[in-house]
Structure 1
Amino acid sequence: MLRVVLPKGSLEKATLELFEAADLPVNRSSSVDYQATIDDPRIESVRILRPQEIPTYVAEGLFDVGITGRDWVEETSSVVQSLGELKYSKNTSNPIRMVVAVAGDSPAESVQDLPNGVRVQTEYLELTRRYFEAKGVEANIRLSYGATEAKIPDIADCVVEITETGRALKAAGLKVIDVILTSYTEVIANPAAYADPEKRKAMEQVMTLLNGVLDARGRVMLKLNVAAEHKDAVLAVLPSMKSPTINDLSGGGFAIESVVEKKTVNLVIPALREAGATDLVEMQISKIVP
């Protein structure tokens, strides 16, 4: 039913891991095979291509659904339907930022401080052109094929580059003077395919599975028992997504379950024990579907 295109390159590993966790494993003959399958009746075919190309192909109807970045949707001016953001990137769950950066010792503190004719290197020619035009700065914009941050100061005065952590820019001695956009990984659909009720339902179901995995990341399930006299004290220190699940125990007392953030467990478990909880169990969660 759905013709799906997934990103090759920096997002590839994280995307394939997400689909695996969502019980939609991507099968292909080798890591360099650009054609794949997913054993699911909602998915007819899978291709793996560079994210730069995906918005255009989805807009043209070559694929029904694609995963790319908002940066490439904007760069290509593709008319697509957004199915929502998937909050993961190459190394973290943080978005990438498209930034304007100059040498660390440059007197420029904003784009308006740059002179007309400023030399700009970027992989995003159209976005960069529109940006500098909107700022009223005449720029000499050149296409960069990589290592963009290394081209200051001899090849470029300024770069427009994406960054996830900012480490590469700092290592190159650059400073950021503006952020053009913030971009998460995004699921996009062809508008005509999205208008088809059957395909739209399939898209929504797949998104439920993917979002369920992402919502579960960084969270764990805590199970515990507590005597009646300690119930209120335990609930006072037990975080939850909405409210804990509480059941009566056959021998008296209560069994309580709650989903909590993994990063807080080291503080929560001792506090629960001190409040009177017993038999605490921490469990991994595969998916959370509200």
Structure 2
Amino acid sequence: MNTKLTIAMPKGRIFEEALELLLKAGYNLPPEFDDSRKLILDVEAEDMRFILAKPMDVATYVEHGVADVGIAGKDVLLEEERDVYELLDLRISACYLAVAGLPGTAMNDVAPKVATKYPNVAAAYFREQGEQVEIIKLNGSIELAPLIGLADRIVDIVSTGRTLVENGLVEYERIKDVTSRLIVNPVSYRIKDERINELVTRLSTVVSLEVK
């Protein structure tokens, strides 16, 4: 039986913080691991394979079984609603989803528009508020939408709030706190339960120490 554990991880900030957790958990990862430009990295010493992907794709890889486990932001899990199990809150890359717009402006009464890269999250939030809005999906530079009159509001990830301030926007409502989570493919969880549970145990120990 193939015992190699395949882990999908997003590039960027989450990768750097997750790598630190794995090292603290005692995993023997090579020094050049975080500098590599490869998209697939095999670590024979740990019988592991890492797939480096865009944040929005991690849960897809795990759902379809090309990765056994993955590390994904809660924002992605809320938006994508993939068939995966969420095993552990890693408490890294903390941020939150928020509604923002130009200061002192009200939503259009006739045809309010909201721009976001999270259409499902945004639609659900405004539906819960009893507001009917038109959702406009964008893939980047969400802050631009209110500035050019494309939308009344945006729904986006906020970390420090600096990007909003630099673009003359203000936060109106906070929707959901976001951290990165360890997720698993349901079939892999049955077949490779020992390896996956060991990973969860070791990471849980590190996370609990980090929180204290």
TM-score normalised according to structure 1 size? 0.63
Name the one with the larger strand percent: 1
Is 1:209 aligned with 2:202?
yes
- What's the counterpart of residue 103 of structure 2? 104
Q: Secondary structure at the match of 1:79?
A: coil
Tell me, in whole angstroms, the C-alpha distance in 2 between the residues paired with 1:71 and 1:52: 9
Deviation at 1:184, TM superposition (A): 0.9
Q: 1:115 to 1:195 in 2, by over 3 A?
A: farther
Describe the shift of the 1:38–1:133 C-alpha distance in structure 2 as closer, same or farther (beyond 3 A): same
Structure 2 contact 88–204 (Cα < 8 Å) conserved = no
Pick from 37, 40, 51: which aligns with 1:35?
40
Please state whether the residue corresponding to 1:17 is helix, strand or coil. Answer: helix
Pairwise CA distance, 1:48: 0.8
Cα deviation, 1:200-243, whole Å, max 9, x if unaligned, reads: 22112112222333333476xxxxxxxxxxxxxxxxxxxxxxxx
Q: Check 1:132–1:29 CA distance in 2 against 1; reply closer, same or farther (3 A cut).
A: closer
Residue 133 of structure 1 aligns with which residue? 127
Deviations 1:157-214 (A, max 9, x none): 1100001222222333322222222211000001122233xx2221121122223333
Which runs of 5 or more structure 2 residues have no equivalent in the other structure?
Answer: none
Higher CA-based Rg = 1
4+ long deviations beyond 6 Å: none
1:116 and 1:137 in contact (8 A); partners too: no
Worse overlay, 159-168 or 24-33: 24-33
Q: Label 1:132 to 1:61 Cα distance change in 2 as closer, same or farther (>3 A).
A: same
- Kindly state the Cα deviation for residue 30 of structure 1 after the two structures are TM-superposed: 5.1
Pick the structure with more helix per residue: 2
How far apart, in 2, do the equivalents of 1:56 and 1:167 lie?
A: 30
Q: Secondary structure at the match of 2:72?
A: strand
Query: Could you state the TM-score of these two structures normalised by the residue count of structure 2?
Result: 0.84
Shift of 1:60: 1.8
Determine whether 1:73 maps to 2:72.
no
CA RMSD of aligned residues (A): 2.4
Greater relative CO (CA pairs within 8 A, separation 6+): 2
Q: Tell me, yes or no, if the aligned pair for 2:16 and 2:34 is still in contact at 8 Å.
A: no
In 1, Cα distance between equivalents of 2:134 and 2:64: 31
Q: 1:157 to 1:182 in 2, by over 3 A?
A: same
Letter of the 1:122 partner, please give it: T
Q: 1:78 and 1:131, CA in 2 relative to 1: closer, same or farther beyond 3 A?
A: same
One-letter amino acid of the structure 2 residue matched with residue 169 of structure 1: L
1:73 maps to a residue whose letter is: L
Q: Percent identity among equivalent residues?
A: 27
User: Cα distance 1:168–1:29, how it changes in 2: closer, same or farther (>3 A)?
Assistant: closer
Alignment length (residue pairs): 206
